[in-house]
Amino acid sequence: MNQVDYLRISLIDRCNFRCLYCMPEGAELDYILKQQLLTDQELLTLIQEVFIPVGFTRFRLTGGEPLLRPGVVELVRQIAALPQTQDLSMTTNGFLLAPLAQGLYDAGLHRINISLDSLQPDTFEQIIGNQGRGRWQQVWQGIQAAYAVGFDPLKLNVVVIPGVNDHEVLDLAALTINKNWHVRFIEFMPIGNGELFGERGWITSAQLRQSIAAQWGLNESQIRGNGPADIFKIPGAKGTLGFISQMSECFCDRCNRMRLSADGWLRPCLLNETGQIDLKTSLRQGVSTQELQHQVRKLLAIKPEINFQQRDSGTLGTYSRTMSQIGG
């Protein structure tokens, strides 16, 4: 396995969208109460006194929607200022991004992933749960604002849904031709949503690559990402295309990450609930950060087994949390 040095940190489980692939349709979610969330100080303590000492140097802020977290710009500033922070990034739906983009960039956040599942406003509204018109335009403004202030790379995440937005793959891929944007196509994962698309399942990355190659040609890129994406490039394009194939092509052997939920649960594998540690409760009960380091090191040691041997029990079993509650 790769060295596990990358922590995805969920700042909040709430979201202002209700995307089909992230939250179960028609289900009511029990959101974490404010007092159950890690406070800024608790999060900074865990980063400085637990995660950095055991080898984590790269951090991604996620949600729910991380821009809903009060004081998010200042929190970004404090994490970015830590001398051991080698990389700090964020995944957002972009809806609140336009007015915050400059502040986030100045605070030290220079890499950002923005979800953009459609270029067609009506389709976009369908995917995000029909929560009011005009949301596509506001997300697009957020993307433009992030590009203008200098986020590089600026990545656009696309979950390809059969019969919903798969006809837009070429249009979305074309965004990489004239701008240094990086479009990443992600296979749908049935976490907490196993019956969502029924027999339609997902569209494999291989099929998407074939469609794009037939239109423009497609070369494997020399650029390698920090995560599981296989990177390609349309000949002559300024940006790149990434394909995250967690359903059709297992990449557990390349996994370099763990996930920290907004209420302090450390999860070693997205597709498996085995081995989680409740760091927040331990911290509040006075367990020393040295002891927490020891617990995390033990979890790091067994992560390969959790990734491989027990993967089926995670993917086929019942999930206690949806994708939005895990932090993606």
180: Cα separation from own chain's centroid? 20
How big is the chain by its Cα radius of gyration, in Å? 19
- Where does residue 326 rank: exposed (0-12), middle (13-18), buried (19+ CB within 10 A)? buried
Percent of the chain with pLDDT over 90: 62
Is residue 65 pLDDT above 50, yes or no? yes
pTM of the model: 0.89
Give the tens place of pLDDT for each residue, 291-300.
999 999 999 9
Is residue 315 pLDDT above 60, yes or no? no
Instruction: Work out whether the CA dihedral 215, 164, 120, 188 comes out positive or negative.
Output: negative
Give the tens place of pLDDT for each residue, 68-99.
999 999 999 999 999 999 999 999 999 999 99
| Amino acid at the residue 110 | H
pLDDT at 2: 75
Residue 267: CB atoms within 10 Å: 23
Contact criterion met (CB below 8 Å) for 91 and 60: yes
Residue 286: CB atoms within 10 Å: 6
Separation of alpha carbons 196 and 328, rounded Å: 17
Is residue 310 pLDDT above 50, yes or no? no
Contact criterion met (CB below 8 Å) for 22 and 324: yes
Separation of alpha carbons 58 and 269, rounded Å: 17
